[in-house]
A = this chain, B = another copy of it.
Amino acid sequence: MLTNNSAKFDKLREEGYRITPQRKQLLEFFYELPEGEHLSAEELHNKLTEKEIKISLATLYRSLKFLVKKGFIRELDFGEDHKHYELSSPKKQHHHLLCNTCGLTIEFKDKNLYGYAVKIAKEQNNFEIKDYQFKIFGICKNCQKES
């Protein structure tokens, strides 16, 4: 366990939440994931099972919701019929271009975007930012050629 979440865990305990093995191992799993990898609930469940981490699908969904609410992970939507999840780290955020034709996902980073989000949030009645996402939809180079 390279990551240290004990301070955060203490805070959650104070709020009345319990740190169960399922929640803990799920969060650890996210920390060990290669950067930029975002998995669906079902993919997560498979990978966790491979690692011999036992967690039911129902609990997985509940835990994901919990971790999202608590700001540990972010929920992504690529217009598919299921959500994707990844570790949340607002300051080194990445974003996505999505090809409408072939479904290709291209990631990009941009250091200006965070300041930009902060500026907008401030203008909007001091909205407190937890996360932000920039998505661009269109046609990728390959699909442009083919039409």
Contacts and interface: CB of A to CB of B under 8 A. Distances in A.
A71 to B, nearest CB: 8
Interface stretch (A3-11, A20-28, A53-61, A138-146): A138-146
A140 B120 contact: no
The listed residue with most B CB atoms (<10 A of its CB), out of A129, A132, A144, is A132
B100 A127 contact: no
Contacts of A127: 97, 99, 106, 136, 138-141
A117 interface: yes
B132 A144 contact: no
Given A75-B79, A133-B134, A123 B100 contact: no
Question: In the complex, which range does the number of interface residues on chain A fall in?
Answer: 35 or more
A130 B131 CA distance: 24
Interface string A98-123: 01100000101010000011001101
B120 A128 contact: no
Given A75-B79, A77-B79, A100-B69, A106 B124 contact: yes
A75 B79 CA distance: 8
A120 B97 contact: yes
Contacts of A125: 106, 140-141
Nearest to A77: B77
